[in-house]
Each structure stands twice: as C-alpha cells, then as structure tokens.
A and B are shown apart, each in its own frame.
Chain A
Amino acid sequence: MTPLEGCLLLSALLFAIGLAGTVTRRNAILVLIGIELMLNAANLNFIALWRYGPHPEALTGIMFTIFSIAVAAAEAAVGLALILAAYRHFRTTNLDRMNRLKG
C-alpha cells in the first residue's frame, strides 16, 4: 500500500463516517457536523493527491483546500443560523419532526 492509497482510503473512511452520521442522527446540528466531516474528508483527499501527485509546485491542491475550508466555514455559519431559526419555529432540533415538506 502506497502512502497515497492509504490517505485515500482514510479519506473514504472519513467520508463514510460523515455520511453515516448525516443520514442517521436526529439532531440537525449533528447532521451539519456530519456534512462538515464529509467536506474535511474531501479536503484530505485534495492534500493527499497534491502531495503524492505530479506537479506539487503548482499548489493546486492547497489552493483548493483553502477555498474549500472558507466555503465550508461560511456554510457552517449559515447552516447553524438556519437551524436556530428552525429551532425557534419547531421548538425542536429533531429532524424527524421537521417534515412539513412531506409529499
């Protein structure tokens, strides 16, 4: 197993853990955290491939990761704000209760 392969496997595992948490936890905040985890897994993927891929001097992976982190942070802020607003309305963070869009 090359280092790259190990990193990629790790990132896949982190992604799966994040996905598992997202689709199973009831608390909306924890769902959001799971999403953050998935993003982080993707970041790890980028860095790993930057490190072991061709042309690391192009700094492509680092740039991408920086921007990803920025976007993720913005999204986390907005998402938590939304959850707060939803909490005010539903009086709960239980996602199973927030099913007004049920078809």
Chain B
Amino acid sequence: MSWIVHNLWLIPALPILAAGLIAFLPQRRRFAGAGLAIGSLAISFALSVAAFAHTLSLAAAQRLEFVNVPWLQFGDQWLRIGWLLDPLTAAMLVMVTFVGLLIFIYSTGYMAEDENFTRFFCFLALFAGAMLAVLIANSLLLLFMAWEIVGLTSYLLIGFWYHNPAAAAAAKKAFLVTRIGDLGLLIGMVWLYAQAGTLLFYDHGAGCLESSWAYYLPAHTAFFGLPAVTAIAILIFCGAAGKSGQVPLHVWLPDAMEGPTPVSALIHAATMVAAGVFLMARVYRFMWPLHVAIDAYTAPSAAQYLVTWVGAITALFAATIAVAQFDIKRILAYSTVSQLGYMMMGLGVGGPAVGIFHLITHAFFKALLFLGAGSVIHGCAGEQDIRRMGGLRKFMPVTFAAYSAGMLALCGFPLFAGFWSKDAILDAAHLWAPSHIPFYIGTLGALLTAFYMTRQMAYVFFGTLRPATPGHPSHHPAETEKPIAYEDVAEIAAAVESDAHTHDPHAHTHHPHESPAVMTVPLVILAAFAVLLGFVGTPVWPWFQAFLNRTPPETAGLHALIEPAVLTVTATSSAVVFLGILLGWWLYSRNAITRADAPDILDRTSPAAFTFLGHAWYINELYGATLVRLNSTLATLSDIFDRFVFGGIVQLVSWAALSVAHVDRLFDTAIINGGFDAGTHTVRFGGWLTTRFQTGRPQTYLRCIGLALVALVLYLLWGAHA
C-alpha cells in the first residue's frame, strides 16, 4: 500500500483545516484567508495528481485500493469508515481540485471589493474539503456525512449576501429541497445497513459493493416485487436527484444563482451538483439487475429505468425553459440542470463511464461559462440581464473568446470536449434496447441547447450595447424570475452614489471593460481544457471509459469513427448542433436587437408559450399552491393542536391546581380557621361561664364553700366506710 493511498485522507483534511483556521481570522486579514484556502487546495491538488499518477501506474484490474479504520464501537461491534482510491475517485479528485483551484484564484479578483472576503474563503475551503471527502469515502456513512456538509456549505454560500431577502430565501429553498432528497438517501442507507450489515463499499469481500448478496440474493423483495437492492438504489437516487437537480427536485438550482458567481461556478455547475451523478456511479452495482454478472447483457432493472427516464425528462424540460430566460446566470443554471439530466441518462443507459465522462467535461466548460458570465457581470458593473448587454465582444475580447469555446463545448460542436462526451451518451442511448425515446429526447435537447446558447451569445456579445435607462427598470410581461440580483447596481449606481451595495470598483463607468488578469487567466486555462479534454474519450481511443471500467485500454483506430452505429449518432448530433446554431443566428443575430425593452422574437411569435417557458412551466407556483400550502396547513394544524390540546391540557392542569388551591383555602378558612375560632369561642364561653361565679357577693362564695364542705365530708365518710 503506497504512501499516497495511506494518506489519501489529507486531501479533504487540509482544506477543512484551512477553513477552521480562516474562521478565526478577522475579516480584514484577506491575504491570509485567501492564501490559506488556495494554499490548502493547491496541496490537495498536488496530492490528487499524485494519487492519479499512482492509479495510472497500476495494472488496470488492480486499480482499487482502500483503507478502513475502526471508528465507533457499539457493544462488541466496530463501525468502520475508510477511504478508497479507484479510477473514478482519482479522476474526480483531479477534476475537483483543479477546477476548484482555478475558481479560488478567480474569486480573489471577483470578491475583491466585498467586505466579507475572508468569510467567503472560509466557506469555499470548507466546501472543497467536504466535496473531496465525498469523493474518497469508502463508507456510505462517511459519504453521507460529507454530503450533508456539502449541502450546508451550499446553503452558506448561496445565502452569502444574507441581507438580501432573495438570497436568504434561495438558500433556504436549496437546503430544504435537497433535504427532501436526502431523506430518501438516509432511508436507503439504513435499509442497506440492515440488509448487508455494513456500510463500507469495499472491505476485502465483505463490503456492500462486493458482497454476493447484491447479486444473488433471491428472496428479499420490497413493495411491487422489487428486489431489495433495487429499492435501495432507487432510494439512494432520491438523494442524488435532490443534489443534482433532477425533476421534480430541480427548483432550487435556478434560485441558487443568488449566490456570488464563483459559487455558482464551483458548486452549482462543476462539483456539488455532480455529486449526485457521482453517487449513482459509485453505487452502480445496486442498479444492476440481479442474478447477472456485471458484463452480461440483460434487461435493465427498475432503478436503471428510473434513472434513465428521469434524466431524459430533466434534460429536455430544463432545455425548454432555458430558451425563455433573460438572466445570464439563469440560462446557464437551466443549462446545468439539463446537462445533469444528460449525465443521469447516460448513467442509466450506458453505465458509469458514460455518465462520468460527461460529468468531467461538463465541469470544465460549465465552470468556464459561469466564470465567463461572472466576468461579463463584473465588466458590466453588476448587470445580469442579457437584454441590457450587447456587443461585448468588442469590449471584452478575452472573455468572449473563452466564452465561445465553452459555448461550443456545451453545444456539442464537433471536436470540442462536449461533443465527445455527449455523443457517448447519445450513442449509448441509441443502443439502449428497451426504447429509443431517450435518444430522441437527447437529440432534441441538444438542438435546444445549441439554440439557447446561440441566443445568449447573440444577446450578450453580438449586436450593439444596450444599457438600461437609469431608474427605469424593464416591465416586460415575459420577464421571469427577477433578473435584478444583489450584484445588479446599474440603476442604483446611476441614481444614488452608494458604495455599500457594490463590489465593483468601476461603478462610475458605464462602459463595459475587460476583467483583470486574475479573472481572465483561469478562463483561458479552462477554455483550453474545454477544447482538448474530450480527446481522452473518443471512440477512436476510449481511454477514459476503459480507465473507469478498469479494463485495459485499447485503441480502436480511426475506423471506429465510421462504424455505422457510431456514425449515425455522430452525424445526427452534429447536424442537430448546426441546425440549432443556425436557428439561433437566424432569429437573433440577423436583425440586431437594438433596444433593451424590445420583446423577444419568440415572445412576439407565441407569447403564451414564451411566458409558460419563462416561468419554468409554473412548477414553483404549483409547488407553492400544493406542497407549500399543505405544509402551511399542517403547520397551522399543529399550531392549533399545540395551542388547544397541549395548551388545553396545561390549562387544565393549572386549573386543577388552582381549584385545589381554592378548595384548600376554603378548607383552611372554614374548617381550620373555623375550628380554631370555635375552639377559642368555646374557651371564651368557658371563661364567661366561669366569670358567672364571680358575682362579687361573698354570700355566693360562702355557699360554694358550704357545698365544698359537704362534698368533702361525704367523701371522707364514704372513704372511711369503704
């Protein structure tokens, strides 16, 4: 066991440690805060590269190493956790640390004017550490704990500008919606522990991903006749669906754009949302149908069906919404949801290699796109509405070039990274036996992706600059979720000379300008990857797929490209991409958009459909009317119950106590007091009786003496006789 595998735990531990140290720094120590975060992540990156190199050095079939340590003792049983290093882990580690490092460096420029700079880096470092812990976890329990911390940091970072009520609400929404998914994950985890007796993935044959029960257990069925292992996979998918924004738990991701743009890039594009896909890839064995060896061809299990269809629906659904958005980040957010759907679909139809390949390439070009959008926003002094931009390629050439590379990669333009990874998915979908509908959905989604990205490019970078009239916000009826984010200062800066609401030092300028080098250099680096990264997974040389599947890589040769199945898919996807770009250019770039409040072409064509898409199919409103109202009703009922039943009981008890007190008082007054009074009256009466003897007349006294004499003598007589 090599040094790196033994010390793999350092990779998440260092950023978490850095976060802990940054938490104690005062806010003004910016250099120390950013330095700690970037430094720790740089070391983690170096360690990840070392781990990756180590994995490469091993033979393909042996690329699985793990370390388990005892953690908690229950009676005479030990609960163990551990970490593992396999190709999936190694690739993900390198991707997360590299993209994270670039975004950290970018953030030093983007958040330079923010007064909570140090706090930002503390949360970023905590997030990085937790995400890395998710990646290396060999125990579902450890993965779940790190998963929750990732969710926490997402909440903290979305709501980073917590004074903004929209940001605070978005953070809460993200946390709550992912929590709903996590409930399924927790139940699946507990059930798994009950079935398998362990939560370790790999444990020399006793781990839950290796044991034979996952394959051959005959009789444990859940409801609907599902095998237990498939039901567990579906429950784990609930958690993944929440984290990865699959329909119906996608509603938090667009609202999460309230956070700063580096947060959107890192968390909600490249890494955290990919954690769901990663989780499904990790527990892929559970999705595999029973009684079959892993390589044999068979009908898909219920879990695979579910993952595929949910992914397909998500891919198409989000793509349709992105067509009608006007906020630059929201377009990218829905695009992320759509691409996550693609990844899930790829996972379902083609296995973990297909999905993870797209995940890795998507991380690079989506981060690139988000960082580019951040550069645009930064250069436009906080403007986020694409209708108020335009012609920026003249003002921000570097950003434009990098953004174009990312856009082409996302669309799946031939030879860019996205092309190869998306084609792998479409290829697997094309070969999927049960149905071709996911393939058609994927193709349609690709068309829409190309279309809306071209639309966005036309609005932002081409045409003429269309700044908004100061103090005159657009009231376009098709306007969707508020484009005026906390970053938006165009109207405020023009109207009021407030410098507390802006983090842009160039607020006094109305001309867009290029961003500083600390922001553009990461863009260029990411652009390079967006172009070149796809070549590790082409059909000619499917090195990446073989790497992940732990099979020896084989070079299939250029003729693999022109095999009928592959060629069909390649031609179809390329054609679709060109068609989408052409459509976008035709509608948006041919006639330049001159005014910011001009309605969108699609809006003019069919306003109803545009509004429907613009409001995200009114899903939020639907949730608000049903689930949220149900929750509120339950809360009201609970309140009533608490107030009148529990409160009533408390009142009853207090009333009873008071009654007892009253009775006690009555008892005290009437009986005890009365008794004493009666006693004293008796004594007084006795005294009064006795005073009656005191007549003051001696003759009376003499009579008494005479009586006493008689009595005494009689007594003596009687005594003498007896």
Direct A–B contact in the complex, CB atoms closer than 8 angstroms: yes
Whose C-beta in chain A lies nearest to the C-beta of B691?
Answer: A103
Q: How far is the CB of A38 from chain B (nearest CB, A)?
A: 10
User: Cβ of A81 < 8 Å from any Cβ of B?
Assistant: no
What 7 pairs between A and B have smallest CB-CB spacing? A103-B694, A102-B696, A99-B696, A101-B696, A103-B691, A23-B703, A23-B699
Q: Is B695 in contact with A102, judged by CB distance below 8 angstroms?
A: yes
Q: Is A22 in contact with B699, judged by CB distance below 8 angstroms?
A: yes
Can you list 24 A-B contacts (CB < 8 A)? A19-B706, A22-B699, A22-B702, A23-B699, A23-B703, A23-B706, A24-B699, A95-B697, A95-B699, A98-B696, A98-B697, A99-B695, A99-B696, A99-B697, A100-B696, A101-B694, A102-B694, A102-B695, A102-B696, A102-B697, A103-B691, A103-B692, A103-B693, A103-B696
B384-427 interface (Cβ within 8 A of A): none
User: Cβ of A44 < 8 Å from any Cβ of B?
Assistant: no
Q: Which of B692, B694, B697, B706 has the most CB of A within 10 A?
A: B697
Residues of B within 8 A of A23 (CB): 699, 702-703, 706
Binding site for B on A (CB under 8 A): 19, 22-24, 31, 95-96, 98-103
Whose C-beta in chain A lies nearest to the C-beta of B704?
Answer: A23
Q: Is B706 in contact with A96, judged by CB distance below 8 angstroms?
A: no
Residues of A within 8 A of B703 (CB): 23
Q: Is B698 in contact with A95, judged by CB distance below 8 angstroms?
A: yes
In the bound complex, CA of A77 to CA of B299 (Å): 148
Binding site for A on B (CB under 8 A): 690-699, 702-703, 706
Q: How far is the CB of A86 from chain B (nearest CB, A)?
A: 12
Q: Which of B692, B694, B702 has the most CB of A within 10 A?
A: B702
Q: How far is the CB of A36 from chain B (nearest CB, A)?
A: 14
Residues of A within 8 A of B698 (CB): 31, 95
Residues of B within 8 A of A19 (CB): 702, 706
In the bound complex, CA of A102 to CA of B696 (Å): 4
In the bound complex, CA of A91 to CA of B535 (Å): 149
In the bound complex, CA of A31 to CA of B702 (Å): 11
Residues of B within 8 A of A99 (CB): 695-697
Q: Is B699 in contact with A31, judged by CB distance below 8 angstroms?
A: yes
In the bound complex, CA of A22 to CA of B697 (Å): 12
| Tally of A-B Cβ pairs under 8 angstroms | 34
Residues of B within 8 A of A98 (CB): 696-697
Residues of A within 8 A of B693 (CB): 103
Whose C-beta in chain A lies nearest to the C-beta of B703?
Answer: A23
Q: Which of A24, A31, A98, A103 has the most CB of B within 10 A?
A: A103
Q: How far is the CB of A73 from chain B (nearest CB, A)?
A: 21
In the bound complex, CA of A6 to CA of B702 (Å): 27
Residues of A within 8 A of B691 (CB): 103
Whose C-beta in chain A lies nearest to the C-beta of B687?
Answer: A103
In the bound complex, CA of A24 to CA of B706 (Å): 12
Given contacts A95-B699, A103-B692, list 9 more A-B pairs with CB under 8 A. A22-B699, A24-B699, A95-B697, A99-B695, A99-B697, A101-B694, A102-B694, A102-B695, A103-B691
Whose C-beta in chain B lies nearest to the C-beta of A22?
Answer: B702
Residues of B within 8 A of A24 (CB): 699
Q: How far is the CB of B690 from chain A (nearest CB, A)?
A: 8
Whose C-beta in chain B lies nearest to the C-beta of A26?
Answer: B699
In the bound complex, CA of A103 to CA of B690 (Å): 9
Residues of B within 8 A of A101 (CB): 694, 696
Whose C-beta in chain B lies nearest to the C-beta of A19?
Answer: B706
In the bound complex, CA of A49 to CA of B706 (Å): 23
Q: Is B702 in contact with A96, judged by CB distance below 8 angstroms?
A: no
Whose C-beta in chain B lies nearest to the C-beta of A34?
Answer: B702
In the bound complex, CA of A102 to CA of B691 (Å): 8
In the bound complex, CA of A95 to CA of B699 (Å): 8
Q: Is A96 in contact with B697, judged by CB distance below 8 angstroms?
A: yes
In the bound complex, CA of A95 to CA of B696 (Å): 9
Q: How far is the CB of B707 from chain A (nearest CB, A)?
A: 10
Q: How far is the CB of B321 from chain A (nearest CB, A)?
A: 110
In the bound complex, CA of A65 to CA of B12 (Å): 132
In the bound complex, CA of A23 to CA of B699 (Å): 5
Q: How far is the CB of A7 from chain B (nearest CB, A)?
A: 19
Q: How far is the CB of B283 from chain A (nearest CB, A)?
A: 107
Residues of A within 8 A of B695 (CB): 99, 102-103
Whose C-beta in chain A lies nearest to the C-beta of B695?
Answer: A102
Residues of A within 8 A of B690 (CB): 103
Whose C-beta in chain A lies nearest to the C-beta of B700?
Answer: A23
In the bound complex, CA of A96 to CA of B698 (Å): 9
Q: How far is the CB of B345 from chain A (nearest CB, A)?
A: 116
Whose C-beta in chain A lies nearest to the C-beta of B702?
Answer: A23
Residues of A within 8 A of B697 (CB): 95-96, 98-99, 102
Whose C-beta in chain A lies nearest to the C-beta of B688?
Answer: A103
Q: How far is the CB of B688 from chain A (nearest CB, A)?
A: 9
Q: How far is the CB of B644 from chain A (nearest CB, A)?
A: 68
In the bound complex, CA of A99 to CA of B699 (Å): 11
In the bound complex, CA of A100 to CA of B694 (Å): 10
In the bound complex, CA of A102 to CA of B688 (Å): 12
In the bound complex, CA of A85 to CA of B691 (Å): 27
Residues of A within 8 A of B694 (CB): 101-103
Residues of B within 8 A of A96 (CB): 697
In the bound complex, CA of A22 to CA of B698 (Å): 9
Residues of A within 8 A of B702 (CB): 19, 22-23
Residues of B within 8 A of A100 (CB): 696
In the bound complex, CA of A101 to CA of B697 (Å): 8
In the bound complex, CA of A23 to CA of B703 (Å): 6
Whose C-beta in chain B lies nearest to the C-beta of A99?
Answer: B696
Q: How far is the CB of A102 from chain B (nearest CB, A)?
A: 4
Residues of B within 8 A of A95 (CB): 697-699
Q: How far is the CB of A5 from chain B (nearest CB, A)?
A: 16
In the bound complex, CA of A101 to CA of B693 (Å): 11
Residues of B within 8 A of A102 (CB): 694-697
In the bound complex, CA of A24 to CA of B690 (Å): 22
Residues of A within 8 A of B699 (CB): 22-24, 31, 95
In the bound complex, CA of A24 to CA of B697 (Å): 11
In the bound complex, CA of A102 to CA of B694 (Å): 5
In the bound complex, CA of A7 to CA of B383 (Å): 147
Q: How far is the CB of B67 from chain A (nearest CB, A)?
A: 108
Q: How far is the CB of B270 from chain A (nearest CB, A)?
A: 111
In the bound complex, CA of A103 to CA of B701 (Å): 13
Residues of A within 8 A of B706 (CB): 19, 23
In the bound complex, CA of A22 to CA of B695 (Å): 16
In the bound complex, CA of A90 to CA of B601 (Å): 135
In the bound complex, CA of A19 to CA of B693 (Å): 19
Whose C-beta in chain A lies nearest to the C-beta of B699?
Answer: A23
Residues of B within 8 A of A31 (CB): 698-699
